[in-house]
Amino acid sequence: MTVTTSYQGPIAVVSIDNPPVNALSKQLRQDLLDAVVRMDADPAVEAVVLSCEGRTFIAGADVKEFGKPPEAPHLPDVVTAIEHAEKPWVGAVHGNVLGGGLEIALGCTYRIAAPKTNFGLPEVKLGIIPGAGGTVRLPRLIGVEAAVDLATSGAVIGTEKAKAVGLIDAVVEGDLREGAVAFAQSIIGLPKPQPISLRAAPQKDGDFWSQAESSVRSKAKREVAPLRALASVRNATEVDFEAAMTFERSTFLDLRASDQAAALRHVFFAERAAPRPPELQGVPAAEILSAAVVGGGTMGAGIVAALRDAGLPVVLIERDAEAAERGLSNVRAIFDGAVKRGRLTAELAADRLAGVQTSTDYGALTDVDLVIEAVFEDLAVKQAVFAKLSGACRADAVLATNTSYLDPNQIGAGVKVPARFLGLHFFSPANVMKLLEIVPTATTSVEAVATGFALARLLGKIPVWAGICDGFIGNRILKVTRAQTERLLLSGATPSAIDAAMRQFGMPMGPFEAQDLGGLDIAAFQRRAARDRGEAVFAPIADKLCELGRFGQKTSGGWYDYAPGDRTPRPSDVVTKIIAGKAGDHLAGEWDNESLAEAIIFPMISEGAAILDEKVALRAADIDIVEIHGYGFPRWRGGLMHYGESVGLSKVVERLRQLSSKGLSAAPSQGLVRAAASDSFDG
């Protein structure tokens, strides 16, 4: 049973207990329906309070059921039953009142809330729209504008805003259940107000809807659900209640079965699984109450800001006093930027900065719990830093390197306690990007890995376990992307055609635009280092551009030309000539957006499969998380590997064989060929 009932005089308290988030499973829907019948049949009951056990009200439909056919009782019927019950129902809500949870609350006669409650219709984030009256009842209760905002954005509003727009009737400061019972007592004997479904829908003119459509379209990019949610709210203002409910439900069922919904659901569960991998179940993490960062450049300053945002005191170590001052001003610039964007108050920014102590003396680290090194990408420099850290820090302190491409086994070779050393690979800007690759060495203890995962959760990041190889998971795939795009240039594609194809695919930026923005020098430095290590790196055109000093926007030219002060990429004759010179006779290839995207993404999938095969990544879903949160891969495609599965792995293999036979890509990896046999990366 997910529902129990207790009584306080004539008030029945119907209490839901369906951990972890009281999601509306089939069982809960049935139990609620039974409760309505029971309450109506009980002559002693005059009013009903509906409340939830645990940390939240109902957080929505049970997403786990979305992969299967819908089963009765259906949620719209449960909401209607509550709405038309003979006795008034008082929804007493706290925590998260989301999706189907909000729809249940809209079925209640009154809604009263605890402070700091979140209300929203997040369905669009799962590629669907509300399916139990959210888009139909909400405009009738809070007006069209507010309903459009909630239904199309998936954003949440707090208790104060909910009260202001008329979503809730009262706020209870003390004990919610007691307050709800008192409220229910106060309405006994009053006539039951008209249910929301019987109210007239407010009207809006055509201008309103066309403006709303262009605004939703531009924010949604290629996601379909937000526009369908808008259409459903609009329809709810134009037809009667029953017809609006039918339209909403059929849109919901249609989208529930769509590829985008499957992809977004996959990401929902992958994001929740990643921070707590089964490999770490029951493994204790060390408590991290203080931290230090060595190196206050681009990455170090971002990591300091992330640690401060999580409330940890931080020591920042630099080479000399001048560099320490520069490091601190890098951190200050991050907090100032947050104040300018309205994300932080000036007082909080000052407080965050005050919690950073700079030093050039490792003696300041005798009592820190964790140190993250972010100095130059140079093995000798990093090893020297860890030798000093080994001498200065407590034996149980966790020591981490933020290296991008060097081998953490070598960096940590001389540390005093190898079990407490590991890689923590942040992404730039480190205080913004959610991804954190956790890279154990051959000697890292499982407790230190668990501590890395716990740190990620503390920082609000999504951690992914990554093995050691050149570039770990993300940058190793990026190398394939880069080499592949250059191959395509040599066979007739242009930088602007490739960028357009990748934007059309759903990436926020094309690969060449992105390189021009970030600067070509960083990758050139990494290629040099890789070649020094004896590796072959294919980048004939990028190499030539760097030779010419074309490092991107900062030098007014890279893959594109730029007019001074203007970031608009313009196709460059210089680049066209370089490509023609290197390509010889191969420039005749014919490409369109789709074939270009395939020729770039499929080799990445193949590399992802090799990474899985080598156990550099533990799960295909982890690679999806890396691509989405580190490189802007579209969520609605479910991430790189999920996308491969949705295309069909046999098709990916076949296409790669065609491309490789023409010298346009590497052959499909063995891991990919094996996975294609079962058309799945999960065996």
Binding ligand 3HC by CB under 6 A: which of 2, 11, 47, 60? 60
CB of 680 to ligand 3HC, least distance (A): 21
> In the set 13, 35, 59, 424, which binds ligand 3HC (CB under 6 A)?
59
Q: How far apart are CA 506 and CA 504, in angstroms?
A: 5
CB closer to ligand NAI, 220 vs 316: 316
Where are the alpha helices (H) located in 239-294, listed in sequence order? 241-256, 259-273
SS3 84: coil
Residue 23: which of ligand NAI, ligand 3HC, none does it interact with, CB under 5 to 8 A by kind? ligand 3HC
Note if 103 is an active site residue: yes
DSSP summary character for residue 557: B
From the list 519, 542, 296, 533, the residue with the least C-alpha distance to 407 is 533
Residues 133-172 that bind ligand NAI (CB under 6 A): none
Binding flag, residue 107, ligand 3HC (CB under 6 A): no
Of 281 and 568, CB closest to ligand 3HC: 281
User: Would you count residue 292 as binding ligand NAI (CB under 6 A)?
Assistant: no
Kindly list the distances between the CA atom of residue 173 and the CA atoms of 39, 308, 538, in Å, as whole numbers in the listed order: 28, 31, 64
CB of 534 vs ligand NAI, minimal distance in Å: 20
Q: Which is nearer to ligand 3HC, 122 or 644 (CB)?
A: 122
Decide: is 294 part of the binding site for ligand NAI (CB under 6 A).
yes
Residue nearer to ligand 3HC on the CB measure, 60 or 552: 60
Instruction: Candidates 10-18, 124-132, 236-244, 467-475: pick the segment binding ligand 3HC (CB under 6 A).
Output: 124-132
Tokens of 420: 């407490």
Asked if 134 and 109 count as a contact pair (C-beta separation under 8 A), the reply is no
Pick what 374 binds: ligand 3HC, ligand NAI, none; C-beta below 5 to 8 Å, kind-dependent: ligand NAI
Question: Is 279 an annotated catalytic residue?
Answer: no
Contact 228, 251 (CB under 8 A): yes
Question: Catalytic one among 46, 123, 318, 607?
Answer: 123
- The pair of structure tokens assigned to 329 is 């001003």
- Of 18, 96, 402, 444, the one binding ligand NAI (CB under 6 A) is 402
Distance between CA 526 and CA 532 in Å, rounded?
A: 10
CA 374 to chain centre: 25
Q: Is the dihedral of CA 391, 392, 395, 396 positive or negative?
A: negative
List the beta bridge partners of residue 422: 400, 440
18 binds ligand 3HC (CB under 6 A): no
62 binds ligand 3HC (CB under 6 A): yes
- Which of ligand 3HC, ligand NAI, none interacts with 139 (beta carbon under 5 to 8 A by kind)? none
- Contact between 75 and ligand 3HC by CB under 6 A: the answer reads yes
- 3-class secondary structure, 201: coil
Closest CA to 507 of 517, 520, 495, 498: 498
| Catalytic position from the list 103, 248, 318, 437 | 103
Range list of H helices, 414-519: 446-458, 474-489, 495-505, 511-518
Among 253, 323, 469, 548, binds ligand NAI (CB under 6 A): 323
The rounded distance, in Å, linking the Cα atoms of 392 and 394 is 7
Q: Contact with ligand 3HC (CB under 6 A): which of 16, 61, 406, 672?
A: 61
Residue 463 is a binding residue for ligand 3HC (CB under 6 A)? no
Tokens of 569: 């990429």
CB 52 within 8 Å of CB 36: no
Give the Cα separation of 304 and 508 in Å (integer).
27
CA separation for the pair 151, 601 (Å, rounded): 33
Q: Which is nearer to ligand NAI, 375 or 497 (CB)?
A: 375
Q: According to the binding rule CB under 6 A, does residue 511 interact with ligand 3HC? A: no
Decide if residue 634 touches ligand 3HC (CB under 6 A): no
If the CB atoms of residues 131 and 195 are measured against ligand 3HC, the closer one turns out to be 131
Question: How would you label 60-78 residue by residue, b for 16+ Cβ within 10 Å and e otherwise?
Answer: bbbbeebeeebeeebbbeb
> Do 237 and 202 touch, CB atoms closer than 8 A?
yes
Q: Which residues pair with 682 in a beta bridge?
A: none
Closest CA to 477 of 606, 595, 625, 377: 606
What tokens appear for 98 in the block?
Answer: 């989301």
Indicate which single residue of 99, 277, 295, 634 sits in contact with ligand 3HC (rule: CB under 6 A): 99
In angstroms, give the least distance from the CB of 129 to ligand 3HC.
7
Q: Which of 16, 32, 48, 98 binds ligand 3HC (CB under 6 A)?
A: 98
When binding is defined by CB under 6 A, the residue of 15, 96, 358, 572 that contacts ligand 3HC is 96
Of the residues 46, 318, 516, 624, which one makes contact with ligand NAI according to CB under 6 A: 318
Residue 423 binds ligand 3HC, judged by CB under 6 A: no
Rounded to an integer, what distance in angstroms lies between the CA atom of residue 109 and that of residue 577?
Answer: 72
Q: How far is the CB of 287 from ligand 3HC (least distance, A)?
A: 21
- Least separation in angstroms between CB 254 and ligand 3HC: 13
Residues within window 19-38 making contact with ligand 3HC, judged by CB under 6 A: 20-21, 23
Q: Residues near 91 by Cβ (< 8 Å), separated by ≥ 6?
A: 50, 51, 57, 104, 105, 108, 110, 111, 112
Q: Which stretch binds ligand 3HC (CB under 6 A): 56-64, 136-144, 228-236, 499-507?
A: 56-64
User: From ligand 3HC, ligand NAI, none, which one binds at residue 451 (CB under 5 to 8 Å depending on kind)?
Assistant: none
Q: How far is the CB of 252 from ligand 3HC (least distance, A)?
A: 6
Q: Which of residues 429-458 bind ligand 3HC (CB under 6 A)?
A: none
Residue recorded with tokens 């009765």: 72
Are the CB atoms for 480 and 454 separated by under 8 Å?
no
Size of the site for ligand 3HC (CB under 6 A): 23
Question: Which residue's CB is nearer to ligand NAI, number 7 or number 376?
Answer: 376
- Window contacting ligand NAI (CB under 6 A); options: 107-115, 210-218, 224-232, 396-404: 396-404
267 is an interface residue for ligand 3HC by CB under 6 A: no
Angle (nearest 5°) at CA 267 between 262 and 270: 125
Count the site residues for ligand NAI by CB under 6 A: 24
H helices within 279-393, ranges in order?
298-309, 321-340, 346-354, 379-392
Residue with tokens 């409340």: 51
First to last CA, the chain: 36
Taking residues 344 to 383 in sequence order and writing x for each that binds ligand NAI by CB under 6 A, - otherwise, the string is: ------------------------------xxxx---x--
- What does the alpha-carbon distance between residue 125 and residue 131 come to, in Å, rounded to a whole number? 14
Least distance from ligand 3HC to the Cβ atom of residue 130, Å? 4
Catalytic annotation, residues: 103, 123
Q: Which residues contribute to the site for ligand NAI (CB under 6 A)?
A: 294-300, 317-319, 323, 327, 374-377, 381, 385, 402-404, 426-428
The residues that touch ligand 3HC, with contacts defined as CB under 6 A, are 20-21, 23, 59-64, 75, 96, 98-100, 103, 122-123, 126, 130-132, 134, 272
